[in-house]
């Protein structure tokens, strides 16, 4: 990456970080592009050089957050596939549950605004789960009966549904829900019950 590309990346990242901070402090709906530009110390035109619309910026922010989630999965590659999956779901739950109510609201709004961002095939978190499933098939931990892409779709779907339930239902226990989902997924992937 040359100096000009690095500078563009720095400005783009500064805009995204400013948007994230403002979304946390005042909410997505209350945050205007002008607020983001002021916080990032960029001109309005600079914002639109990086993002065609406000929705595009929210989409990019969601993608960036999902890439961070993928890193959590990648950091577990030394574990058995079942332990990686359950550990990942448990870790995501622990991080989210420990967050503020503002963060919870922001995650919900970002999911609604960018449903599917970074979870579709060939990108981000989906890729991480696809690789995990392929690894599990190769090691014999995952039943080879089904297409690994379909299995990755199911894993992503379970994670997203758990997070959505948590953002809209204050009584939903994300820790319990995601752990139970991951355990069920492990059973389904292996084709046999997992002992508790």
SS (H, E, C) 72-130: HHHCCCCCCHHHHHHHHHHHHHHHHHCCCHHHHHHHHHHHHHCCCCCCCCCCHHHHHHH
Alpha-carbon distances, residue 103 vs 58, 59, 83, 97 (angstroms): 15, 17, 27, 10
Residue 39 is predicted with a pLDDT of 97
What residues does each domain of the chain span?
A: 1-51, 55-190
CA-only gyration radius of the chain, Å: 19
The pLDDT of residue 77: 63
pLDDT score recorded for residue 69 = 64
pLDDT at 80: 87
CATH number of 55-190: 1.10.357.10
At residue 67, the pLDDT reads: 59
Intervals of the chain under pLDDT 70: 66-77, 112-124, 191-196
pLDDT at position 44 is 95
Instruction: Look at residue 119 in the predicted model and tell me its pLDDT.
Output: 55
**CATH annotation of 1-51:** 1.10.10.60
Using alpha carbons only, give the angle 104, 105, 107 rounded to the nearest 5 degrees: 65
Backbone φ/ψ region at 68: left (φ over 0), alpha (ψ -120 to 50), beta: alpha
Q: CA 196, CA 189: separation in Å to the nearest integer?
A: 16
Q: CB within 8 A of 112, min separation 6: which ones?
A: none
How far apart are alpha carbons 185 and 146 in whole angstroms? Answer: 13
Q: What pLDDT shows up at residue 24? A: 86
The two tokens of residue 20 are 């994230």
């Amino acid at each position: 990456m040359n100096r000009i590309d690095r500078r563009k990346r720095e400005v783009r990242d500064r805009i995204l970080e400013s948007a994230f901070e403002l979304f946390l402090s005042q909410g997505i709906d209350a945050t205007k592009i002008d607020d983001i530009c002021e916080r990032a110390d960029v001109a309005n035109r600079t914002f639109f050089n990086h993002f065609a619309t406000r929705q595009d910026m929210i989409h990019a922010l969601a993608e960036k957050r999902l890439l961070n989630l993928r890193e959590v999965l990648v950091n577990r590659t030394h574990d058995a596939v079942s332990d990686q999956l359950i550990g990942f779901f448990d870790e995501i739950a622990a991080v989210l549950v420990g967050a503020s109510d503002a963060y919870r609201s922001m995650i919900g709004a970002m999911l609604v605004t960018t449903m599917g961002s970074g979870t579709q095939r060939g990108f981000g978190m989906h890729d991480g789960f696809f690789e995990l499933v392929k690894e599990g098939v190769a090691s014999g931990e995952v039943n080879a009966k089904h297409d690994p892409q379909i299995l990755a779709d199911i894993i992503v779907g379970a994670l997203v549904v758990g997070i959505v339930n948590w953002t809209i239902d204050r009584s939903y226990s994300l820790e319990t829900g995601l752990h139970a989902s991951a355990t069920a997924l492990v059973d389904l992937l292996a084709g046999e019950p997992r002992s508790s």
